[in-house]
Structure 1
């Protein structure tokens, strides 16, 4: 049986991860590619329940380390219950966010440290990493502008401007640290252009894995 392919989508808030990843998924389906779509935090029942706690705007007293641990717990369950079984069946898995998000948001946005957050998550994922990551690159200014236009803002959307700037800087470090895995897509273009470019890149990854 052929090996599965795990492709994640990353980028700061406002980069369009969900819209783009779902758009790529739909285009793959139209082409008859055997692909599944999932997200973090979430993707399966237990992880979705954890997601509600993490993102609920009323949970303003949540400690930063508690937040990091909840993300890691959600990630572990999602990985063992959904991602790995699909990959073992040779499927292509597209995932909206994975461990890079924790390194950027909790490691840098919350100032817990990339190495410290990596340690927490490595316990959860046991060194398991994506085949490739589509990184949606956008300036902090443009990303914040897009967040402001949202009708509903979750707990992280409502964070300070400085938090989002710190996350953006964190992602720059992570893209450099894992540059062999990263495929950078300019997310400042129109939605259709970004989806088309991301789809092209995903098809290249699939063909390269052959």
Structure 2
């Protein structure tokens, strides 16, 4: 399945909860999901939002002023949030995180590293705008340069063929050799038998020539 292409529900095989939810999502039929599966999808959507947006916490400035800031969830913190919010086990919370990343990766056609890059870009842009609005243009400029590196805007792009448009050659199996220009053989069974006899005779002659002649009496 090629990256960057939206997959179809017919591409999704299997009957695991993940497969069923993904097919329903692609067919725009999530409203028809059973309550348990619908609840799983809701948790995955929330996890994806939390990974991208982080959480609001209180932090003190250098002068001691308390303000609300946004920070990324660490893995254990996200697991604990899911456990408390949805009253599920730690194991279920871990599975929710794994499935959320896999689910939205599948729908958007990106590799895991691209998922992480997208999150980093969102965070970097937020911090760049915050620094700019605060008048810290030096910090905003550094964020801007770093974002350009993450996005690869300075990299030289190499044109490659669009493999999605590649049409593989079609091969046809031909049972009659005469269609390929070979001479027609009316008695193929006799020809095969003759060739085998010749090979067998040649093999016996060769073995006879290579055989060691033993002197009499030995």
**Which is strand-richer, 1 or 2?**
1
Of structures 1 and 2, the one with the larger relative CO (CA 8 A, separation 6+) is 1
> Normalised by the size of structure 2, how large is the TM-score?
0.24
**Which is helix-richer, 1 or 2?**
2
For the pair shown, the structure with the greater C-alpha radius of gyration is: 2
> Normalised by the size of structure 1, how large is the TM-score?
0.25
